[in-house]
């Protein structure tokens, strides 16, 4: 497959949980890291979490640290994002993509700018809505 396939989104109440999946067998092995990015209409893309392909290092935006957990299953070529204690401000379309050099990963921890448009492949994303 050329594009990642995101799934697992939905509508949850504040404080609820969702587990997102990213099937990325078509490109995962070619990239240094896999990153979850979210976008709200009219706002810039925001890096959410990142996991390095080989050593498993993880990174999180400060806004989600302690609430979200990224993981990967090598056998399934799938990356997951477990989202707990969800807040309304987490509402967005969530995408996963490959970061060829892994350079976005440390930057997102400090909310530093990064050109996510440079990332090669994007799926359709999965909608996460947190609302009471």
Q: Give the model confidence (pLDDT) of 12-37 as tens digits.
A: 999 999 999 999 766 555 678 899 99
pLDDT at 11: 98
The closest of 21, 28, 20 to 2, measured between CA atoms, is 28
Which parts of the chain register pLDDT below 50?
Answer: 1
Q: Residue 74: what pLDDT? A: 77
Burial 20-45 (b: 16+ CB within 10 A, else e): bbbbbeebbeebebbbbbbeeeeeeb
Closest CA to 34 of 121, 128, 127: 121
User: Can you tell me which residue has the tokens 């930057």?
Assistant: 107
pLDDT of residue 18: 98
* pLDDT given at position 120: 77
**pLDDT at residue 25, rounded to an integer:** 64
How much is the pLDDT for 29? 58
CA dist 101 → 34, 67, 89 (Å): 10, 26, 29
């Amino acid at each position: 497959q050329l594009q990642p396939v995101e799934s697992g989104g939905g509508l949850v109440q504040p404080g609820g949980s969702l587990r997102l999946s990213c099937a990325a067998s078509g490109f995962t092995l070619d990239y240094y890291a896999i990153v979850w990015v979210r976008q709200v209409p009219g706002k810039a893309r925001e890096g959410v979490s990142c996991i390095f392909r080989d050593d498993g290092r993880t990174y999180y935006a400060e806004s989600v640290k302690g609430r979200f957990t990224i993981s990967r299953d090598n056998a399934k070529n799938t990356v997951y994002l477990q989202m707990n204690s969800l807040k309304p401000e987490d509402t967005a379309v969530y995408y996963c993509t490959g970061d060829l050099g892994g350079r976005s990963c440390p930057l997102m921890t400090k909310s530093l700018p990064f050109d996510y448009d440079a990332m090669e492949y994007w799926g359709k994303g999965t909608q996460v809505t947190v609302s009471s």
